[in-house]
Amino acid sequence: MRVVFRHFAIALIPLLLGLAAGWAFAFTQESCGRLVGPVFAPKCRWVQLEYQIMFHMAGTALGCLLAAIIGAWLELRRRRAPELPVVAA
């Protein structure tokens, strides 16, 4: 059960980082016009949405990289663990 939980936690890393990056971008923007300027303010909603999607993708890509590194490290650590000798009964 512990192995299943570990794999589940590693699989959640990209999702959580992607959501965190998108929400961080959305909550740091005070106004839509400030993002693109007064000339393009009427079309700002779509530009802001595009930027938020880019932040989601960047966060997910970073999360995938982090999950791959953690997974590889855990696998290497598991292989290096000394094996106990089998005792015949």
Asked if residue 6 belongs to a domain, the reply is: yes
Asked if residue 88 belongs to a domain, the reply is: no
Asked if residue 8 belongs to a domain, the reply is: yes
Task: Look at residue 85 in the predicted model and tell me its pLDDT.
Answer: 67
Asked if residue 85 belongs to a domain, the reply is: no
Where residue 86 falls (left for φ over 0; alpha for ψ -120 to 50; beta otherwise) is: beta
Task: Look at residue 22 in the predicted model and tell me its pLDDT.
Answer: 87
Task: Look at residue 63 in the predicted model and tell me its pLDDT.
Answer: 92
Asked if residue 50 belongs to a domain, the reply is: yes
Alpha carbon 53 to its chain's center:
13
pTM reported for the whole predicted model: 0.70
Q: Residue-wise over 43-66: b if at least 16 C-beta within 10 A, else e?
A: ebeeebeebbeebbeebbeebeee
Phi, psi of 79 (to 5 degrees): -70, -30
**CA angle 35–65–78, rounded 5-degree value:** 155
Low-confidence ranges of the chain (pLDDT < 70): 35, 80-86, 88-89
Domain count, the chain: 1
Asked if residue 72 belongs to a domain, the reply is: yes
Asked if residue 87 belongs to a domain, the reply is: no
Q: Which tokens sit at 29?
A: 């923007």
Task: Look at residue 89 in the predicted model and tell me its pLDDT.
Answer: 60
Range of the domain at 33: 2-80
